Amino acid sequence: MSIDLFVKYDINFYSAFFLMVILITIYMKKDIYSYSSKIFKLIIITNIFLLVFEGLTFFANEFDGRFAWYCNYILNFIVFLITPLVGSFWATYIDFKIYGSKDRIAKRLYYLYPFIIGVVLLVINLFYPVLFSISEQNTYQREPLIFVNVATLYLLLCYVFFLVVKKRNSLEKNVLSGVLFFMLFPAIGGAIQMLFYGVSSLFSMMTLGIVATYIFMETIVTSKDYITNLYTRIKSDEHIKILIDKHVEFAVIMIDLDDFKALNDLHGHTEGDKVLKSFGIVLKNVFDYKSLVSRFGGDEFLIVVESKDEEKISDYKKTIYKELKNESNQNELLNTLKFSYGSSFFREGDHKTLDEIIVEADNQMYLDKAINKNYKRRRSDE
């Protein structure tokens, strides 16, 4: 085997390894609540498969015999089958980033058109080579309709880019940058691969696009609060919307620390930040990994629990106070820390919106605060 062959495989191998590192990082961050993050994982996984299978085709192409021929054909078949899925997943990912609606995506079957067209062409290819062929000498050859496959994929990406340009005034700059880089690298790689036969650059360049997307769209706009390391309000809002769309029954708990301003004034903001961080640790100890714990803003926290058991939700308040006692060994200010607690539920058949659920939990929390302090904090509390 030639050194060039190993160089080709090395590029694919290291690209796949790099994507595996990103994938492991995402799982270690436990960023499992975002619908867009789940799609992004699919983009990474499909690209890893493409890099591995394409790398294997290089080796299969070097051997003679019927078995090698079958391996070569099957591996190329899989590569052609998976490639359009990356474009479909990416279009879905960007659409959700722009509009934040799963219902909208469900109505856009044309995001799957490149995949559907690819499957049809692959079925035809089984009987008559229109995409690729493998000669009796086990040599891979591109066929004319491969350009149809490429064109449908590029048209889809151009359409999504049009959506981004159309909504550019309402999008953050990092989204625009992520889309631009994701399109730029694969476009360059695909053009090189089409123009120079034998050069493999599409999937390795797509890796660069995925890395750029991850940096601009999944890292720069962080889903974690920098003080408490809890999820942000953006993440909790998105998670609640997903549960509503799925008609999953859940509860939202709103917590507000009592007299936190006085604590800040007395001990300073540095100590106040330590209290927020410690309280975040308490909440993560109380609620399991299936619950989403977020810092709603300031000294307010919001927890999403997939439960409809009112008694269980109510008991969490006592559990939090018990955990505060345990954690007070690390921060003595937790000994005197008090909080107000409210909840709301989304049950089967409900038609509540995100805002209605949060307002309901917020109102219940302020009623609890009024009882704790023996006065009405807000004029709207009746």
Task: Identify the pLDDT of residue 122.
Answer: 95
State the pLDDT at residue 55. Answer: 82
Most confident residue range from 111-125, 153-167, 173-187, 330-344: 111-125
pLDDT, averaged across the chain:
83
Give residue-wise pLDDT tens across range 16-45: 888 898 888 777 766 555 677 788 889 899
Q: Where are the alpha helices (H) located in the chain, listed in sequence order?
A: 3-28, 35-60, 66-99, 102-106, 113-127, 146-166, 173-195, 202-213, 233-246, 260-267, 269-286, 310-327, 354-373
Same domain assignment for residues 22 and 165:
yes
155 and 62 in one domain? yes
Does residue 54 sit within a domain? yes
Q: Provide the angle, in degrees to the nearest 10, between the axes of the packed helices 173-195 and 202-213.
A: 180
* Among candidate residues 183, 207, 201, 185, the one with its CA nearest the CA of residue 18: 207
Q: Measured between alpha carbons, how far is 287 from 94 in angstroms, rounded to an integer?
A: 32
pLDDT given for residue 8 in this prediction: 55
Q: Is residue 152 located within the same domain as residue 295?
A: no
Map tokens 């999008």 to a residue: 171
Domain count, the chain: 2
| pLDDT surpassing 80 at residue 218 | no
pLDDT, residue 80, reads 93
- For the cut 70, the answer to whether the pLDDT of residue 298 exceeds it is yes
Task: Extract the tokens encoding 137.
Answer: 């000498």
Residue 195 domain flag: yes
Check whether 179 has a pLDDT greater than 90. no
Looking at the fold, whether 163 and 255 belong to one and the same domain comes out as: no
Last residue of a domain, one of 219, 248, 264: 219
Owning domain of residue 369: 233-373
CA-CA distance, 158 to 183, in Å (whole number)?
9
The stretch 274-284 carries a mean pLDDT of 90
Dihedral sign of CA atoms 26, 31, 35, 36 in order? negative
- Summarize the confidence of residues 58-68 as an average pLDDT: 84
Tell me, yes or no, whether 26 lies in a domain. yes
306 vs 103, residue with greater confidence = 306
Interior/surface letters 244-279, b for 16+ CB within 10 angstroms, e for the rest = beeeebbbbbbbbbbbbeebbeeeeeeebebbbbbb
Give 178 or 243, the one with higher predicted confidence. Answer: 243
Q: How confident is the model at residue 381 (pLDDT cuts 50, 70, 90)?
A: very low
- Contact between 12 and 204 under an 8 Å Cβ cutoff? The reply is yes
Q: Are residues 214 and 249 in the same domain?
A: no
119-138, pLDDT tens digit by residue? 999 999 999 999 999 998 89
**Mean pLDDT across 249-269:** 89
The answer to whether residues 215 and 237 belong to one domain is no
pLDDT score recorded for residue 197:
61
Whole-number percent of the chain with pLDDT over 70: 86
Which pLDDT band holds residue 172 (cuts at 50, 70, 90)?
low
Residues 359 and 286 occupy one common structural domain? yes
Assess whether 197 and 248 both reside in one domain.
no
**Cβ density class 10-21: b for 16+ within 10 Å, e for less:** ebbeebbebbee
Same domain, 243 and 150: no
| pLDDT score for 52 | 87
Q: Is residue 227 part of a domain?
A: no
pLDDT band at 76 (very low <50, low <70, confident <90, very high): very high
Most confident option among 92-96, 335-339, 346-350, 353-357: 353-357
Bridge partner list, 346: 250
> What pLDDT, on a 0 to 100 scale, did the predictor assign at position 103?
77
Three-state SS for 287? coil
Q: How confident is the model at residue 65 (pLDDT cuts 50, 70, 90)?
A: confident
Largest CA distance in the chain: 88
382 pLDDT higher than 50: no
Q: Are 100 and 238 in contact (CB under 8 A)?
A: yes
Give the residue from 221, 231, 222, 223 showing the smallest Cα distance to 173: 221
For residue 320, is pLDDT > 90?
Answer: yes
Three-point CA angle 63, 75, 122, nearest 5°: 125
The reply to whether 225 falls in a domain is no
Q: CA quadruple 86, 91, 94, 96: dihedral positive or negative?
A: negative
In a domain, 98, yes or no: yes
Average pLDDT over residues 341-369: 91
CATH, residue 156: 1.20.1070
Q: In what order do the strands lie in the sheet with 250-257?
A: 292-297, 300-305, 250-257, 339-346
Confidence category of residue 378, pLDDT binned at 50, 70, 90:
very low
On whether both 204 and 317 belong to a single domain, the answer is no
Looking at residue 376, what is its pLDDT?
47
Distant-in-sequence contacts of 373-382, Cβ < 8 A, 24+ apart: 373/258
Same domain, 195 and 338: no
Q: Could you tell me if 249 and 203 lie in one domain?
A: no
Domain CATH code at residue 244? 3.30.70.270
The predicted pLDDT at position 373 comes to 67
Which of 185, 219, 253 marks a domain boundary?
A: 219
pTM for the model stands at: 0.61
Mean pLDDT over 150-179 rounds to: 77
Asked if 307 and 345 count as a contact pair (C-beta separation under 8 A), the reply is no
**Residue 187 pLDDT > 80:** no
Please identify, among 168, 184, 219, the residue that sits at the C-terminal boundary of a domain.
219
pLDDT (0 to 100) of residue 46: 92
Is residue 228 included in any domain, yes or no?
A: no
